[in-house]
């Protein structure tokens, strides 16, 4: 006979996590939730995805995109998962909303935990995992805590941990795990289940909220569920790509990123290419890099190496981040590992202090291997770096929809202005983009006029295509000036 929740609590109070206790707890929850004999499930409703690392302010939740006609089907026998839906998103820079399909297709070949965890943190998948993978249980306040190691190891060789919480009604109300992230390190992934309903003995939550990095990354309102659907094959077949999307990418590994290269723009000023563009500036006894972190550790290390090559025999003392978005900061661990002081807007200080204080055991990166800790300094409206010969001004761009705390670098002697993510120019001879997102350009120019900067040469972190010099005249022309 399965152990009851009250009996389980009494047993758990006697000692630490127990495998025998877990068997009873999981058995009772499995019966209550109706998963005995459940090999697949499909459920539907509406929901939302949230863009991790792209919030408009480092202290605000991740930005939301609604997902309508949402459906998720899980085949526990493979295991595999397919989610579908429709999104209708408004670009952050303005312009018309765009309808687009949403598909998440997880197959056994998707070995990465970032994919597989969606199966094992579902309330039914969690109980099945606990049955298969030597779970242990213990009392944690009003809940029974059941934990097991996932069938996937992290890049660092450490098994991923899965911890679920079962309430007095034998319902799974939360499942936690961790996932490697270049900014957060061992990032908690927590999925909460509430407002359970009953479909002929199969219990399902009508509300689901998954959080990563402290804020929701997915939520759903579930309207209905079906266990062991007869049309499982059809439900697990991905929809065709939309017209004009083309076929799947060609096989083989992705091409290697281009090597870092540089060009001298002015005495002691170098533009580093090969990915997101960085600017390295030589002072008397140190180097400053604008946008050092790039897309990942490898890119950050390439920027650092190239800066040292073109400006030899000087340490890199400062690395100025344009803004906090993860596609611009995912190599921050390599910057910290080098002993470089991160310079960011004051809005971002606490966010980076918290994020970079997490353990980094799942995928030990350059920061974890170095043992170095974050060194951070901030900018309010303006900060000036100078040695009497070279000067770099850092200014805050205000009123930008894309991100608060956006910084630009200005070199008065060369009239150079370096920026990120406010606008992109079309190629010469190409027609203008319909309904152009000119808000960023307008804000950019208005701020430079407010600051009274004498700028002429413009360096974009996202290099223009084709790559070419950008001037003040080019920018103003997009505004009809």
Q: Answer for the pair 35, 128: CB distance below 8 angstroms, yes or no.
A: yes
> Model's pTM, two decimal places?
0.91
Mean pLDDT of the chain: 91
Mean pLDDT of 228-241: 95
CA distance 225 to 41: 7
pLDDT exceeds cutoff 80 at 324: yes
* Per-residue pLDDT at 5: 41
pLDDT exceeds cutoff 50 at 253: yes
pLDDT tens for each residue of 176-187:
999 999 999 999
Going from the C-alpha of 300 to that of each of 58, 110, 371, the distances in angstroms are 21, 28, 17
Closest CA to 417 of 479, 465, 470, 462: 470
> Considering the domain 261-477 in this protein, what is its CATH number?
3.60.15.10
- Least confidently predicted of 102-116, 135-149, 321-335, 381-395: 102-116
* Per-residue pLDDT at 245: 56
* Per-residue pLDDT at 477: 87
pLDDT exceeds cutoff 70 at 431: no
pLDDT tens for each residue of 370-399:
999 999 999 999 999 999 999 999 999 999
Q: What is the domain partition of the chain in residue ranges?
A: 5-235, 261-477
* Per-residue pLDDT at 97: 79
pLDDT tens for each residue of 465-481:
889 999 999 999 888 88
* Per-residue pLDDT at 479: 85
pLDDT tens for each residue of 123-171:
999 999 999 999 999 999 999 999 999 999 999 999 999 999 999 999 9
Choosing among 2.50.20, 2.60.120, 3.40.50, 3.30.750, the CATH entry for 5-235 is 2.50.20
Going from the C-alpha of 141 to that of each of 2, 166, 192, 280, 383, the distances in angstroms are 21, 11, 17, 54, 50
* Per-residue pLDDT at 463: 92
Name residue 137's beta-bridge partners.
18, 146
Helix axes 123-132, 19-33, angle to 10 degrees: 140
* Per-residue pLDDT at 56: 93
* Dihedral sign, Cα of residue 457, residue 459, residue 465, residue 466: positive
* Per-residue pLDDT at 11: 39
Percent of the chain with pLDDT over 70: 90
pLDDT tens for each residue of 261-304:
999 999 999 999 999 999 999 999 999 999 999 899 999 999 99
CA distance 412 to 426: 27
> With bands split at pLDDT 50, 70 and 90, how would you rate the model's confidence at 434?
low
Name residue 376's beta-bridge partners.
342
Residues 6+ apart with CB under 8 A from 60: none
Torsion angle of alpha carbons 38, 72, 153, 31, nearest 10°? -30
pLDDT tens for each residue of 351-376:
999 999 999 999 999 999 999 999 99
- Least confidently predicted of 87-96, 239-248, 451-460: 239-248
Q: How many Cβ atoms are within 10 Å of 364's Cβ, its own excluded?
A: 18
404 phi, psi to nearest 5 deg: -75, 155
pLDDT exceeds cutoff 60 at 333: yes
* Per-residue pLDDT at 13: 42
């Amino acid at each position: 006979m399965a152990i009851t929740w009250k009996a389980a609590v009494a047993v758990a109070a006697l000692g630490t996590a127990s495998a025998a206790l877990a068997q009873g707890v999981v058995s009772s929850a499995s019966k209550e939730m109706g998963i005995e004999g459940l090999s697949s499930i499909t459920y539907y409703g509406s929901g939302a995805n949230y863009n991790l690392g792209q919030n408009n302010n480092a202290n605000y939740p991740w930005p939301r995109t609604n997902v309508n006609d949402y459906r998720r089907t899980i085949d526990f026998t493979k295991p595999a998962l397919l989610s579908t839906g429709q999104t209708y998103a408004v670009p952050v820079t303005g312009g018309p909303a765009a309808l687009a399909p949403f598909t998440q297709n997880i197959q056994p070949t998707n070995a990465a935990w970032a994919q597989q965890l969606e199966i094992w943190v579902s309330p039914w998948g969690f109980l099945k995992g606990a049955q298969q993978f030597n779970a242990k249980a213990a009392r944690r306040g009003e809940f029974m805590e059941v934990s097991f190691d996932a069938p996937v190891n992290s890049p660092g060789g450490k098994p991923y941990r899965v911890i679920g919480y079962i309430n007095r009604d034998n319902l799974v109300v939360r499942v936690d795990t961790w996932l490697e992230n270049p900014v957060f390190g061992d990032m908690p992934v927590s999925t909460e289940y509430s407002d359970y309903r009953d479909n002929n003995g199969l219990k399902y939550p009508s509300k689901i909220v998954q959080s990563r990095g402290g804020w929701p990354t997915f939520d759903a309102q579930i309207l209905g569920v079906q266990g062991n659907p007869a049309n499982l094959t059809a439900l697990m077949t991905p929809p065709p790509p939309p017209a004009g999307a083309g076929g799947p990418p060609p096989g083989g590994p992705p091409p290697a990123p281009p090597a870092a290269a540089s060009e001298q723009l002015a005495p002691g000023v170098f533009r580093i290419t090969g990915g997101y563009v960085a600017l390295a500036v030589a002072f008397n006894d140190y180097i400053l890099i604008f946008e050092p972190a790039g897309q990942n550790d490898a890119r950050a290390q390439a920027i650092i190496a190239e800066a040292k090559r073109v400006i030899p025999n000087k340490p890199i003392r400062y690395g100025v981040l344009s803004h906090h978005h993860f596609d611009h900061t995912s190599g921050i661990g390599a910057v910290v590992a080098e002993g470089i002081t991160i310079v960011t807007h004051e809005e971002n200080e606490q966010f980076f202090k918290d994020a970079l204080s997490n353990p980094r055991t799942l995928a030990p990166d350059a920061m974890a291997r170095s043992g170095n800790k974050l060194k951070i300094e901030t900018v309010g409206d303006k900060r000036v770096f100078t040695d009497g010969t070279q000067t770099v001004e850092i200014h805050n761009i205000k009123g930008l929809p894309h991100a608060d705390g956006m910084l630009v670098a200005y070199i008065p002697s060369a009239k150079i202005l370096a920026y990120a993510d406010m606008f992109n120019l079309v190629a010469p001879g190409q027609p203008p983009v319909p309904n152009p997102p000119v808000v960023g350009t307008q804000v950019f120019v208005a701020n430079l006029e407010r600051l009274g900067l004498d700028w002429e040469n413009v360096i974009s972190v996202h290099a223009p295509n084709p790559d070419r010099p950008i001037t003040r005249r080019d920018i103003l022309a997009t505004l009809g000036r």
